[in-house]
Amino acid sequence: MHGAIAPVWDTAPVGPSPELVLAQPPPPSPPSPSQPAAAPRFARLASRYRVYRLPAFLLAAALLAVVGLATVVGLRSFAESAEWVEHSYQVIAELESTLAATRTVESSARGYRLTDRPDLHAEYLSSIPAALSHSAQLIALTRDNPLQHRLARDIERRVRQRLAEIDRLLELHLRDPQQARLSSLTSNGAEQMRALTAVADNMREHERGLLASRDARTERNAALLTALVIGGLLLALSLLALLMLSLWQENRRSRALERESRQALAELEASAAERQRLTERHRSLSHYAGLLQSCQTLEEALDMTAHVIADLIPELGGRCYVLRASQNLAETAARFGREAIASADLLHPNDCWALRRGQVHRSQAHDGGVRCAHLERADPQRAHAGDDDPRWSLCVPLMAQNTSLGLLCLSGARPPREADLALVQSIAEQLSLAIVNLQLRETLRVQSLRDPLTGLFNRRYLEENLQRELLRCQRRHLPLSVLMLDVDHFKRFNDTHGHAAGDALLARIGQLLQELVRNEDIACRYGGEEFTIVLPEADAEAAAQRAERIRAAIAATTIVHLRQTFGPATCSIGLATSQGERDTPQQLLQSADAALYRAKAEGRDRVVDGNRSAAVASDARA
């Protein structure tokens, strides 16, 4: 599709457009004093959108209420997040205080043993309760988190062990200083302190991870709340603005309809035949709109449009153009009738005034100054003689939501009727919406089956087609193999080079798989860095050869990302082959997955046949 076009399902009008309805006269009836009753008919037509006003108002009120409720809930969520963040900082602070108090006890005791200063002994005695108090407070703060609570208890236990060791050395120093110095040399105090520090580092990193996740969740909730509030307010204000605009337009339309109703009374008899013809056209147009919504392909919709125009307006001829995806060329997709003024098979959008301006463009054959460049040039001899050429052309752009989709080009040999021009414009509107729907349907179909990063089929497509292919091979007594591929050390690659480089690597691997598989094979992205390849009618030997080629191709591949070359990467592949008619897709995938894990366990960058491994295990058990 061209550009970002929102879904427009069921938005195409199934009946005649308002322009055509207003163009047809009221039903014929003999003049009478009661004839002015035609005016209320126009009034009803002008105010047919009244029924939507109350729902629109209620919707706007509901949106404002939802915005207010979301704001309150968001503020409460922010307050809770702030409390948890403060809690994390308290845990980290108590952890640091515990370590600092323990080191203070250690340094005071060591200083006392070296100098025998009474003030250091007093400092030692006063530091012990602080260390125990901080460790106890750390346990109390982490009761909400089992992992951190377990680490906090471990820290308290190690603090008590260290304090006990320090106290033992100090008592020994008081009894025998020489023996205390010798004992301190063989003491495991340093190891105890390193173990305590290691546990504290682990707890600190985990708490910082919790803090980071809480900060990220807070930012995500803030962005969501901001988008919800802004979107709700804009939508509510838009609905209110549309309500005011509708009231203003209805007031203006009512005054205009009053004037038109007075003029319509004098035109009833003359417009009876014209009304009948327009009614038939409207019926055909409604039928066309219904069929258009049932079209499955763009070619089908364009062919049906060409037949409808040829049936409703046989005196016109022309063609339908469709813009290519690049928006730089429009090509003929369908023709109808006989063209009075020939048009080019291919045209550049700048060659057509309608595509340039996004509006309907009409021109006469003799008016060369405003004719489109893709139309046949007028006869210069006839123009020099002063003869007026009655031929005319009409270019109607096919547009939806300010996006150009194509062009409807018509021409005739006689001056056109305004009703015919309005009918052509209505058909163009219907066709534009149908083209958007068909293009969107095709895009959604491709997106539902393809992985957007690698271009391979997705897991849903695999689950739907593996069962069918397996049953087909089982009916014909043919083998079917499944390869499960996983990129080795992909998480380390992501952590080292970034997720963008990881995505580039996965995209390159997807491209390689598309190049290495057959047309009948099914290459899918199973999830993350895992890929699955279904090889119908391939036995274990052929599948193993194919897997080796894939492994070697990936191992020899490098990628260039942001002017840096990465790789090559390696992969591990598990292989499973259908052994009988009782095999199921789940069994094949599980067998291939188990073989993949064996390949990783055996050193990666290899292919493991799950069936062969299972046979070896069975022989070993026998």
For the stretch 329-343, pLDDT in tens is 888 888 888 888 889
Number of domains in the chain: 2
Cα dihedral across residues 276, 277, 279, 283: positive or negative: positive
Residues 522 and 616 in one domain: yes
Residue 24 banded pLDDT, cuts 50, 70, 90: very low
Tokens standing for 192?
């105890």
Per-residue model confidence (pLDDT) at position 255: 81
Nearest to 511 by CA among 565, 479, 553: 553
Per-residue model confidence (pLDDT) at position 19: 40
Residues 356 and 475 in one domain: no
DSSP assignment letter at 57: H
Residue 507 banded pLDDT, cuts 50, 70, 90: very high
Give tens-digit pLDDT for 580-590.
777 899 999 99
Nearest to 461 by CA among 514, 525, 511: 525
The answer, yes or no, to whether residue 511 has pLDDT greater than 90, is yes
Residue 93 lies in a domain: no
Share of the chain above pLDDT 70, in %: 86
Residue 279 lies in a domain: yes
Q: Which domain holds residue 348?
A: 18-25+268-445
Residues 279 and 376 in one domain: yes
Residues 316 and 404 in one domain: yes
Q: Pick the most confident of 33-42, 60-69, 180-189.
A: 60-69
Residue 222 lies in a domain: no
Residue 49 banded pLDDT, cuts 50, 70, 90: low
d(CA 74, CA 514): 46
What is the CATH classification number for the domain harbouring 573? Answer: 3.30.70.270
- Please tell me which residue, 324 or 620, carries the higher pLDDT value: 324
CA atoms within 13 A on the CB side of 103: 9
DSSP 572-585: EEEEEE--STT--H
Pick from 411, 445, 479: which residue ends a domain?
445
Per-residue model confidence (pLDDT) at position 470: 93
The answer, yes or no, to whether residue 377 has pLDDT greater than 50, is yes
Contact 575, 481 (CB under 8 A): yes
E strand or H helix at 525, and its extent?
strand 522-527
d(CA 22, CA 46): 10
Residues 310 and 370 in one domain: yes
Q: Mean pLDDT score of the chain, rounded to an integer?
A: 81
Q: Pick the most confident of 234-243, 367-376, 478-487, 582-591.
A: 478-487
DSSP assignment letter at 535: E
Residues 386 and 531 in one domain: no
Per-residue model confidence (pLDDT) at position 466: 93
Give tens-digit pLDDT for 191-204.
878 888 888 888 88
d(CA 433, CA 6): 11
Residue 11 lies in a domain: no
Tokens standing for 513?
């798989």
d(CA 566, CA 322): 42
> 48-52, 255-259, 396-400, 546-550: which range is least confident on average?
48-52
Contact 373, 351 (CB under 8 A): yes
**Average pLDDT of span 228-242:** 85
> Helix 499-516 and helix 490-497: axis angle, to 10°?
130
The answer, yes or no, to whether residue 561 has pLDDT greater than 90, is no
Q: What is the dihedral of CA 221, 222, 227, 232, to 10 degrees?
A: 90
Share of the chain above pLDDT 90, in %: 22
d(CA 391, CA 388): 9
Per-residue model confidence (pLDDT) at position 615: 53
Per-residue model confidence (pLDDT) at position 8: 38
Q: Pick the most confident of 112-116, 262-266, 351-355, 528-532.
A: 528-532
Residue 381 banded pLDDT, cuts 50, 70, 90: low
Give tens-digit pLDDT for 276-315.
777 777 788 888 888 888 888 888 888 888 888 888 888 8
Contact 510, 524 (CB under 8 A): no
- Please tell me which residue, 462 or 81, carries the higher pLDDT value: 462
Residues 410 and 483 in one domain: no
Residues 369 and 436 in one domain: yes
Pick from 419, 445, 471: which residue ends a domain?
445
Residues 308 and 436 in one domain: yes
Residues 512 and 363 in one domain: no
Count of CB atoms within 10 A of residue 443's CB?
Answer: 12
> 3-7, 282-286, 386-390, 576-580: which range is least confident on average?
3-7
d(CA 610, CA 578): 11
Per-residue model confidence (pLDDT) at position 29: 45
Residue 531 lies in a domain: yes
Residue 198 lies in a domain: no
d(CA 336, CA 31): 43
DSSP assignment letter at 166: H
What is the CATH classification number for the domain harbouring 410? Answer: 3.30.450.40
Burial (CB < 10 A; 0-12, 13-18, 19+), residue 406, is buried
Residues 279 and 394 in one domain: yes
Pick from 445, 471, 503: which residue ends a domain?
445
Contact 60, 236 (CB under 8 A): yes
Residue 216 lies in a domain: no
d(CA 191, CA 232): 61
Residue 311 lies in a domain: yes
Residues 6+ apart with CB under 8 A from 118: none
For the chain, give the longest Cα–Cα distance: 135
> 245-254, 329-338, 500-509: which range is least confident on average?
245-254
The answer, yes or no, to whether residue 570 has pLDDT greater than 70, is yes
Residues 277 and 417 in one domain: yes
> 42-51, 146-155, 249-258, 536-545: which range is least confident on average?
42-51
